[in-house]
Amino acid sequence: MLYKFRQNLNQSLGAIAVTLLCGLAIGFVQLPQLNQLSTKAKTALPEQLNKEVEAEKLRLNLFHKVPGFGFNNLVANWVFLGFAQYFGDDPARQITGYNISPEYFEIIIDRDPRFREAYFFLSGSSSLYAGMPERSVALMEKGLKSLTPQTPPKSYYVWRYKGTDELLFLGDAQAARKSFEKAAEWASTYSDPESQNVVAISRQTAQFLAQNPNSKFAQVGAWTMVLQNAVDARTRKVAVSRIEALGGKVVITPEGQVKVQLPERD
């Protein structure tokens, strides 16, 4: 047993070593270009930031090429940390935009399609900020092929993110309705209150869209989900403004809870 444990350990360490060597080899080939792009040039700030974005593109290209050897989930986690740093740099993103956001998630979904939490950030960053809802939806469709109602737990949220993007950013009410129906179907396999609430609101949204493809109720409901899950003030501000533009109203209760009132008419 001890021998077998050592053998497995050696194999694991060997795989890690090979992965690192592959990454170093690729990095060595592109090192001059990376160094050139990463050097702080004595130029205008926008030009410098654009060079840093180009350097990040090269880094992401490395992750596309490096084999996982059974550690794909670690690669996905590492890339997600890089995305968090990229997305969180507000001053830089105001200048360069968010155009490479989908590149992070293409790697993440290829490496670990069951990384459920990543899909929410994919939707927000790629659809709302980068203006690439088609890419966002395509990546979610790709990832969903590896998901089931129970794996990962509560994966029905991915269908809701997909439906939200289809409704709010693609204007595809029919596709959105199908996604919300699928979210309700998957959520119905759980008995906890959170999941049952998702069943109810997903079915309701699907019914709104079936009756009226341009339903304001459905759009307000989708923006409400964006508002409730927002991780930054910018997203909350956008969601509130869109809800109010549709005739809805955002109310803060004395307890600090956020409640959304639907428009008077659909």
52 contacts 75 by C-beta, under 8 angstroms: no
pLDDT at 203: 97
| pLDDT reading at 17 higher than 80 | no
> Residue 174, SS3?
helix
| pLDDT reading at 28 higher than 60 | no
pLDDT at 231: 73
pLDDT at 10: 40
Predicted structure pTM score: 0.78
| pLDDT reading at 1 higher than 90 | no
Kind and range of the H or E element at 251? Answer: strand 249-252
Higher per-residue pLDDT: 254 or 260: 260
Higher per-residue pLDDT: 226 or 178: 178
Instruction: Please state, rounded to an integer, the average pLDDT across all residues of the chain.
Output: 83
pLDDT per residue over 84-102, tens digit each? 999 988 889 889 999 999 9
| pLDDT reading at 114 higher than 60 | yes
pLDDT at 140: 97
pLDDT per residue over 33-74, tens digit each? 434 433 433 343 888 888 888 989 898 988 888 877 788 999
pLDDT per residue over 171-214, tens digit each? 999 999 999 999 999 999 999 999 999 999 999 999 999 999 99
pLDDT at 78: 92
Percentage of residues in the chain having pLDDT higher than 90: 58
| pLDDT reading at 19 higher than 60 | no
Tell me the two tokens of residue 244.
């109010």
pLDDT per residue over 152-167, tens digit each? 999 999 999 999 999 9
Q: Give me the helices (H) in the chain, please.
A: 2-38, 45-65, 72-88, 90-96, 101-111, 116-122, 133-144, 156-168, 173-187, 193-211, 216-228, 233-245
3-state SS track over 201-212: HHHHHHHHHHHC
The residue extents of the domains of the chain are: 17-113, 147-266
Percentage of residues in the chain having pLDDT higher than 70: 83
CA 119/CA 110 separation, integer angstroms: 12
Mean pLDDT of 129-137: 93
Mean pLDDT of 231-239: 84
